[in-house]
A and B are shown apart, each in its own frame.
Chain A
């Protein structure tokens, strides 16, 4: 499969524990943020998004937290499962541009 993230930071968690993946974004003008999950050899899969007028958003087993003061974004995965093993990366977007700025990613390894 695709050798994405050969030298990525790795987070190892026990199955059933909660995972927290962090991302520092670069531009204080960014108003939209997304988390993607990418499994080996596959395209990135949308997980959850949040706009800058919110500081927390919840999905199914996932929560995204946004701290605009320190330009920090986090993804929390509850009750981590083996199927959650993948590379996770964040993206930010600013008004008036088509471009996303992508983080380099974090590899999540779920230990049985």
Chain B
């Protein structure tokens, strides 16, 4: 069966520091991968998605970036964090290349920027 992992689970970082969040998927190959942010009291905001190694699409202009160095690894990064980057970051995967496939979420990373 497929599993999705995210780490770290929680992170407290000072403003201006770098960020690296990692997501890995097991039990499948060539998944579509997604990064979402969930702010308190709000819905899920799609940040990036990837349909293959090195292929990244950005949904929202911001100081975050994403990379996919391996088929089942998706990384979310920032060079300098802002206070507004605080939130719950979720990685998700789907099996197929079509949107009408179920997206399965990881456990999330709670990021607090102070």
* Binding partners A and B: yes
Give the nearest-CB partner of A33 in chain B.
B100
Partner of B99, one of A7, A44, A98, A104: A98
Q: Is the CB of A97 within 8 A of B99?
A: yes
Q: Is the CB of B107 within 8 A of A104?
A: no
Number of B residues, CB within 8 Å of A: 27
B32, B40, B57 interface centre (most CB from chain A within 10 Å): B40
Inside 8 A of B44's CB, which chain A residues have their CB?
44, 100, 102
Give the nearest-CB partner of A1 in chain B.
B110
**What is the interface of chain A mostly: helix, strand, loop, or mixed?**
loop
The complex places the Cα of A54 from the Cα of B101 at a distance, in Å, of 16
The complex places the Cα of A46 from the Cα of B38 at a distance, in Å, of 17
Assuming the A-B contacts A2-B110, A43-B108, are A51 and B46 also in contact, with contact meaning beta carbons closer than 8 angstroms in the complex? no
- B52 interface residue per 8 A CB criterion: no
Q: Is the CB of A100 within 8 A of B88?
A: no
Number of A residues, CB within 8 Å of B: 33
Assuming the A-B contacts A2-B38, A4-B88, A6-B41, are A51 and B100 also in contact, with contact meaning beta carbons closer than 8 angstroms in the complex? yes
Give the nearest-CB partner of A2 in chain B.
B88
Give the nearest-CB partner of A36 in chain B.
B105
- A42 interface residue per 8 A CB criterion: yes
Q: Is the CB of A44 within 8 A of B90?
A: yes
Q: Is the CB of B41 within 8 A of A99?
A: no
- A59 interface residue per 8 A CB criterion: no
- B12 interface residue per 8 A CB criterion: no
- Interface readout for B90-113 with A: 1 if CB under 8 Å, 0 if not? 100000001110111111101000
The complex places the Cα of A5 from the Cα of B42 at a distance, in Å, of 6
Inside 8 A of A44's CB, which chain B residues have their CB?
44, 90, 105
The complex places the Cα of A97 from the Cα of B107 at a distance, in Å, of 25
What 13 new A-B contacts, CB under 8 Å, besides A41-B110, A43-B105, A43-B108? Answer: A2-B38, A2-B40, A2-B110, A4-B88, A7-B41, A44-B44, A44-B105, A46-B104, A49-B102, A95-B100, A98-B32, A98-B49, A98-B51
Give the A-binding residues of B (Cβ under 8 A): 6, 32, 34, 38, 40-44, 46, 49, 51, 57, 59, 88, 90, 98-100, 102-108, 110
